[in-house]
Amino acid sequence: MESKNIAGKLASIRHLAIDMDGTIYSGETLFNSTKPFLEKMRELGIGYTFLTNNSSKSARDYLVYLKKINLDVQADGLFTSGLATIEYLRVNHSDYRRLFILGTESLRAEFTESGFTVVSKSPDEEPDAVVVGFDTGLSFDRLCMAGYWISKGKPFIATHPDRICPTDQRTLLVDCAALCACLENATGRAPDLVLGKPHPCMLDGILSRHNLEPHQLAMIGDRLYTDIAMANKAGALGVLVLTGEATPEAVRHCPEPPDLVVADLTELGRQLVEAKQIKT
């Protein structure tokens, strides 16, 4: 995209949807660019909402975690794939009240607090549907029970499509899509529904809450197949940061590339400031 065109698009931005893992931090390490970038956005009058596909933590847990790494975020400034799944089921599948959840205790508690009945791993407690998230406390017997109910034809719902979760540790964090691939291999069934990014439900609430047109919203993230794919679907500006999963090589081979690729949030902040100055 020509620089003149991208500057014009940046000048129209009123709000940012900002991915978390790989974009503002990695593991427990907050990027040096994050706090100065957010301060600059406040100076420019640009709002922002943090989005994450990571369903291993509840929204409450995330608020505590963000405060721990010195980011003060209010509840209305955060949206997770777990919350998106809860909202989607409430609106579109109100008959799914009893759920078997392959997820963390935190995720199960969030569903319970939202009025769902979370069934145990006993085969005597039949669920209406199976929900699979990023289960960092995965146990073999719960994985098997999820597979059992999926094999019996229960609706199979994934909170998000991420294969791995970014980390600053020397390990590989197997995420929701990888667990779903295991279950698909065992049962012959892929998920019936995959929520989280790039599903448009992750941006719909932001657009409505802040009275925005899609071109006034920028989606910032480190993944082509979630963050950028969702921006393209929603008509929002897609900004890829190279601080997480995606590489320049992957961008070159992407069939639906981002509108803008930046090294980090510092570079994006500079371009937003320049675009706003040109506009005025």
Output phi, psi for 174, to 5 deg.
-75, 120
**Alpha carbon 215 to chain centroid distance?**
20
Q: Are domains 3-53+198-223+230-244+270-279 and 83-194 of this chain identical in fold?
A: yes
**Eight-state DSSP code of residue 263:** S
At 167 the pLDDT is 79
The amino acid present at 172, given as its one-letter code, is: L
Q: pTM of whole model > 0.75?
A: yes
Architecture of the domain defined by 83-194: 3-Layer(aba) Sandwich (3.40)
Nearest-angstrom CA–CA distance, 218 and 269: 12
Q: Name the nearest CA neighbour of 228 among 252, 201, 261.
A: 261
CB 16 within 8 A of CB 41: yes
**Secondary structure element (H or E) that encloses residue 19, with its range:** strand 15-19
Nearest-angstrom CA–CA distance, 250 and 279: 32
Cβ atoms < 10 Å from Cβ of 236: 28
> pLDDT tens across 127-162, in order?
999 999 999 999 999 999 999 999 999 999 999 998
Q: Name the nearest CA neighbour of 149 among 122, 176, 109.
A: 122
**48 pLDDT above the threshold of 60:** yes
* CA distance readout (Å), 154 to 81, 127, 258: 21, 8, 37
Nearest-angstrom CA–CA distance, 108 and 184: 22
Q: Name the nearest CA neighbour of 217 among 22, 53, 49, 3.
A: 49
Percent of the chain at pLDDT exceeding 90: 83
**Mean model confidence pLDDT for the chain:** 93
> Which CATH number is 3-53+198-223+230-244+270-279's, of 3.40.50.1000, 3.40.50.920, 3.90.1150.10, 3.20.20.70?
3.40.50.1000
At 279 the pLDDT is 67
**Residues in Cβ contact with 191 at an 8 Å cutoff, skipping those fewer than 6 apart:** 132, 156, 157, 158, 180, 184
Q: Per the structure block, which two tokens stand in for 113?
A: 């607090």
**Residues in Cβ contact with 247 at an 8 Å cutoff, skipping those fewer than 6 apart:** none
What is the mean predicted confidence (pLDDT) over 224-245? 94
Instruction: Give the domain ranges of the chain.
Output: 3-53+198-223+230-244+270-279, 83-194
- Lowest mean pLDDT segment, chosen from 8-12, 117-121, 225-229, 276-280: 276-280
SS3 of residue 145 by DSSP: helix
CB 147 within 8 A of CB 187: yes
At 85 the pLDDT is 95
What is the mean predicted confidence (pLDDT) over 176-186? 98
